[in-house]
Amino acid sequence: MKRMIPVVLSILAVSAVAFAQTPAETIEKALLAAPRQMKEGATVIKWKPDFTYETLKKGTNKLVCYDRTGQPGQQPFAVECTSMANLDRVAQSLKIEATVPDKKEQRAAFEALEKSGKWTKPEFGSLWIHLSGPSPAMARQHVTIAVPGATTQSLGFPENPQQGGVWIMEAGTSAAHLMTPGS
Q: Do 93 and 146 contact (CB within 8 A), yes or no? A: no
CB-based contact 71:94 (threshold 8 Å): yes
User: Is 90 exceeded by the pLDDT of residue 21?
Assistant: no
Mean pLDDT of the chain: 89
Cβ-proximal residues to 117 (8 Å cutoff; 6+ apart), any chain: none
Please, which pLDDT band fits residue 20 given cuts at 50, 70 and 90?
low
> Would you say the C-alpha torsion 158, 163, 165, 169 has a positive or negative sign?
positive
Biggest CA-to-CA distance, the chain: 68
**CB distance 21 to 69 below 8 Å:** no
> What's the Rg (C-alpha) of the chain?
19
Whether 10 has a pLDDT exceeding 80, the answer reads no
Q: In what order do the strands lie in the sheet with 167-169?
A: 53-57, 43-47, 63-67, 77-83, 127-133, 140-146, 177-179, 167-169
Strands 63-67, 43-47: pairing is parallel
pLDDT, mean of residues 8-33: 67
Asked if pLDDT for residue 9 goes beyond 70, the answer is no
Flag whether pLDDT at 13 surpasses 90: no
pLDDT digits (tens, 9 = 90+) for 60-95: 999 999 999 999 889 999 999 999 999 999 999 999
For residues 107-129, give the mean pLDDT.
95
* % of residues, the chain, pLDDT over 70: 89
- Identify the weakest region by mean pLDDT among 10-24, 72-86, 112-126: 10-24
What pLDDT was estimated at residue 16?
Answer: 41
CA dihedral 144, 145, 150, 154 (to 10 degrees): -120
Supply the pLDDT for residue 12.
Answer: 38
DSSP state of 28: H
Predicted local confidence at residue 104, as pLDDT: 94
